[in-house]
Amino acid sequence: MGYREDWSKIENFVNSSTQSSLKKMYLMSTDHIHKLMAEAPNDAVIQDILTFVQPAYSNFVRQYRAKTLQINAYRLKTLDFTNMTALLSSEKIRRWDVEIQMIYDDRSNQYQSLLPNGRAPFQKGAYEMRIESVMTLGEALSMDPQLGTLGGDILAFGQQLELLRQEQQGNEGQKSIHSASLEALRKELATVLFGAFGRLIGHYYRELHKVTNFYELKYFRRRSSSSNNNSEEEENYDLFEFDLAPQSRVVKLEGLLAGGETIRLQLLEGDNLQYYTVANSADTPDQVYRLQNSQNARLQLPLGHRLLVLENSENSSAKVEVEVLEDDEVPGTN
């Protein structure tokens, strides 16, 4: 006999809870894996469940990190391209215009043929049209016996712009590919995790309360559809609390940061701690910050920094709250 697909008891709640957030799946599944790992040495059944879950989890995390790196690369290329277009619209076109006017009066036909609309095409409009204006001017000047050298310089600058734009848009396309692949892996992991849930139910069928020990239940709570209050944000999945032992150093948020995000920190317990961000855990920090008890601080991560390092040099334990204030997606560039 078949089953009704709308029977809520067999709904894959892992899939429905994470289908709108890859980050939520990352956080929930990582927490679940860690809880399984803690119990596995003491229980052969839990070890089997962990072995069952790990391949799908590893595939998802690998792709999640690949997407993070792709976002990082896109941000870097976008920053480089934005800096070059800013240079074009200010210093470059101003200098080119001045050099042209040293040869041709700005009321002459020669000048008007080179810059019929003045500097405007280099300062506003679609990026592709600005690049085209640079290349057109460079080619025109390269044929001028008095301004050929300037034309060559302008063409070289335009080629740099073209290359950066191609790389930026190529990274944007790769980001979309990673997203599609990651969604497929999320669904597969959701299926596996739901299967693991069933096995936990079977293992603890006389003590069902023990199943909850393997989950952070906030990830499965549903916001009331009648409430539009976003202050609780359906439990904040970007909010973390970290405990630090005396004289300890910990590295946090690996895989959740790409660089460029803003984080908020508050020392909940302890006298003070030091914190900084780096690209790799072995890197020397550019700057180390100090956080006092009950102090709130905000820090924007430099591009490429994907790790938060917390250091407690005191002889007492500490607890810090960390919130990632920006999403891990990057808006497109016009």
Contacts of 312 (CB under 8 A, 6+ apart): 244, 245, 246, 247, 248, 249, 270, 273, 318
Using 50, 70 and 90 to split pLDDT, how confident is the model at 156? very high
Residue 224 has pLDDT above 50, yes or no: no
Confirm whether pTM is higher than 0.85.
no
pLDDT, average across residues 19-29: 87
Contacts of 160 (CB under 8 A, 6+ apart): 84
For 76-107, write each residue's pLDDT tens digit: 788 888 889 999 999 999 999 999 999 999 99
For 107-129, write each residue's pLDDT tens digit: 999 999 999 999 999 999 999 99
Residue 234 has pLDDT above 50, yes or no: no
Instruction: Determine the Cα–Cα distance for residues 285 and 249; give it in Å rounded to an integer.
Output: 14
Contacts of 89 (CB under 8 A, 6+ apart): 122, 123, 124, 130
The mean predicted confidence, pLDDT, of the chain is: 86
Percent of the chain at pLDDT above 70? 86
For 34-58, write each residue's pLDDT tens digit: 999 999 999 999 999 999 999 999 9
Query: What structural domains and CATH numbers belong to the chain?
Result: 9-223 (no CATH), 239-324 (2.60.120.10)
Percent of the chain at pLDDT above 90? 57
| pLDDT at position 180 | 76
Residue 12 has pLDDT above 60, yes or no: yes
